């Protein structure tokens, strides 16, 4: 199906070559046709995958009371269970980078999503904490490619100067997943229990795997002809880049803190510190997810436009991370006079940590895109695993309150530690100057 109107389609080849108006209109409509193809056949399928990935990632923040009740979990146990997603996710990142560059994003993500579906079924059928951890770990492994495969595909299909915006839109799809994991999941729990929710998620995951496999086209450059040794040398060149190590710490700490808190501990904080009931928690997390969506798109647009004016996207990211730190200070001070706006700001500015992925992709050769992004994603999710579990361990150092909740001082200490590490990482970026980038 063509997007061009009939009068344009009917022009002869000669008219298109000699008539300036014909050339302009033909090129314009051809560009629109290509853009539509990219949106429907490349962006949309990968966006669906990341939607599910993020839904899986944060759904425990809403179903936490059910898991605590049914499995008898402590704060430490809840943190361990939920963070198992991050552990397997992180463990597969370096092999994933090689697979993405060798076999392409389409096949790699489609196969892995089937493991996520199996994990969702295992989680739904689990009868004890061990079974829940196994299911959660399988889900993390299965969705480990959802963002990196998309970033690899976008490098192949989209112009480099569009990557910050396209990546931001991809992250907005994740925000929709986070949004769905709040009030909509809470409403679903009035019809079915959390096990039923995960059976539905398993079916949706299989459907998205098939969508990616049969809708996303192949393109020359999507797969590498490099030998395994050459691919490993490419991985080495990423890790030997001082530019990578300049940007990595702030990206790692910002993203890990955001993932750990937003993906689990935001819900209990709203219950124990802000005093919200279950519906209030779900509704506030819904607003946070909306703010995330706005943040991903807005920050991507800002980074793209300022880059045209000569302002590097990395510095846009740093400015956003500083604002994110300010919001965290308010959360740590436990100021509850305006809970929803503060947490919405948390969701909005927490998205700035994703900009370095696109910024670094612009500075490295396209052939290294998969290995570059997964090399950055590996420590992000290792630290997110440690942070999500560690926050629970710190919270458990204080006795529970009379209402059975966690003590506010535990949140204050744990969140404060994460903020201090982020500040140090931003300082490292600002004062680290030596750079080198692998050659094409």
Run of H or E including 255: helix 242-260
| Residue-level pLDDT at 223 | 57
Q: Which residues of the chain have a pLDDT value below 70?
A: 1-36, 219-228, 433-440
| Residue-level pLDDT at 100 | 85
- Does a structural domain hold residue 154? yes
The span from the CA of 210 to the CA of 227, in Å, is 29
- Does a structural domain hold residue 12? no
- Does a structural domain hold residue 23? no
CA-based torsion, 294, 295, 296, 300: positive or negative:
positive
The span from the CA of 201 to the CA of 194, in Å, is 11
Report CA-CA distances (Å) from 60 to 194, 199, 335, 416: 10, 15, 25, 23
- Does a structural domain hold residue 34? no
- Does a structural domain hold residue 228? no
| Residue-level pLDDT at 22 | 45
- Does a structural domain hold residue 26? no
| Residue-level pLDDT at 26 | 42
- Does a structural domain hold residue 232? no
- Does a structural domain hold residue 3? no
| Residue-level pLDDT at 433 | 62
| Residue-level pLDDT at 6 | 44
Token readout for 127 is 């009868």
Domain tally, the chain:
1
| Residue-level pLDDT at 135 | 94
CATH code (residue 312): 1.20.1250.20
Range of the domain at 372: 42-216+241-431
């Amino acid at each position: 199906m063509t997007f061009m109107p009939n009068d344009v389609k009917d022009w002869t080849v000669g008219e298109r070559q000699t008539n300036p108006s014909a050339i302009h209109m033909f090129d314009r409509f051809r560009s629109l046709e290509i853009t539509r193809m990219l949106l429907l056949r490349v962006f949309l399928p990968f966006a669906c995958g990341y939607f599910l990935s993020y839904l899986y990632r944060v759904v425990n923040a809403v179903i936490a009371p059910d898991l605590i009740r049914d499995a008898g979990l402590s704060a430490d146990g809840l943190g361990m269970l939920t963070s198992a997603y991050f552990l397997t996710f992180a463990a597969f990142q370096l092999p994933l980078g090689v697979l993405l560059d060798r076999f392409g994003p389409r096949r790699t993500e489609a196969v892995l999503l089937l493991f996520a579906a199996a994990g969702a079924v295992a989680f739904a059928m689990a009868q004890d904490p061990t079974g829940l951890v196994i299911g959660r770990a399988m889900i993390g492994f299965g969705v480990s490619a959802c963002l990196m495969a998309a970033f690899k595909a976008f490098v192949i299909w989209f112009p480099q100067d569009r990557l910050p915006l396209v990546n931001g839109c991809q992250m907005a799809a994740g925000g929709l997943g986070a949004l769905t994991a709040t009030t909509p999941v809470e409403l679903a729990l009035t019809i079915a229990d959390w096990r039923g929710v995960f059976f539905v998620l398993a079916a949706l995951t299989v459907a998205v795997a098939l969508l990616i496999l049969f809708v996303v086209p192949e393109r020359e450059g999507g797969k590498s002809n490099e030998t395994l040794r050459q691919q490993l040398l490419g991985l080495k060149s990423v890790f030997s880049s001082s530019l990578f190590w300049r940007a990595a710490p702030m990206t790692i700490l910002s993203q890990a803190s955001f993932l750990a808190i937003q993906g689990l501990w935001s819900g209990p904080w709203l219950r124990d510190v802000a005093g919200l009931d279950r519906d209030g928690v779900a509704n506030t997390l819904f607003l946070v997810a909306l703010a995330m969506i706005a943040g991903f798109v807005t920050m991507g647009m800002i980074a793209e436009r300022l880059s045209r004016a000569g302002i590097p996207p990395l510095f846009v990211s740093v400015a956003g991370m500083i604002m994110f730190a300010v919001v965290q200070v308010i959360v740590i001070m436990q100021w509850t006079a305006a809970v929803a706006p503060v947490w919405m700001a948390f969701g909005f500015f927490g998205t700035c940590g994703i900009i370095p992925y696109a910024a670094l992709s612009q500075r490295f050769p396209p052939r290294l895109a998969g290995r570059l992004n997964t090399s950055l994603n590996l420590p992000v999710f290792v630290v997110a695993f440690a942070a999500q579990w560690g926050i629970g361990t710190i919270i458990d150092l204080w006795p529970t309150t009379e209402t059975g909740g966690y003590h506010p001082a535990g949140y204050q200490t744990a969140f404060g530690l994460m903020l201090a590490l982020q500040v140090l990482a931003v300082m490292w970026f600002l004062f680290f100057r030596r750079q080198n980038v692998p050659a094409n």
